[in-house]
Structure 1
Amino acid sequence: MNVMRLGYAFMGVGLALVKWPVLFQDVRSLPVMEGVVACLLTGMSLLAFLGLRYPVRMLPILLFEVAWKVIWLGTVAIPHLIANDLSTEARDVLFNCSFIVVIAAVIPWRYTWQRYARTPGDPWR
């Protein structure tokens, strides 16, 4: 549990240092998608801080973080790396996404597999 808390703290503090200042500046002056990303990641940081109190209940936040970064790495970064045409902006995102190893390392994967893949889902009625 405490290892998971380290992951939540890493994610929450990192996002707070990088995204909260953007939110407290004039967000209305940002391009629409940059504003969306700033708000989404600020919300993620708040939920990560909630994970400090409820590490197991907030596990989907860590899973979401791993999922979107792995998808981006596989569909955007790696093809551009192979083609050797990765832009400076994409290199910055790649650097930021590389920290996903910390989050992936703190997830209890055996529990995650049993809880989300092996356990029957809730009934539809």
Structure 2
Amino acid sequence: MPESPVPAAAGAVPELVAEDSKLVILARGARARVAAVEGAAVRDQDGRTYAAASVALPSLTLTALQLAVASAVAAGAVRLEAAAVVSEASTLDAAGHAAVRDLAAEAPIHLAAPDGTLLGTVVE
């Protein structure tokens, strides 16, 4: 089931710490580079970042967040500190959410609009 992010308080402009803002920038870049439906980025336990775009092939479909997590794991990551997804969707996809939770029970997953505006954060 898709997760709805916790929205910012009415009238408040949500702010991210610098490291999480970088994830949103990387996710926007990954999405724009290939004109994908969504982009995502994750940061591992060592501060390394991995960005990816969604993949939709006849034989393979991955969300951007699934691919970013897979890239991190392939590089040796064992834990994630945070993640960000840039999409026109207003909810976080269940598959990407599950992939992050495989490595981090409480890492924040930030959902942002294509222009980088933070829509909310999933922490569960």
Query: TM-score, normalising length from structure 1?
Result: 0.27
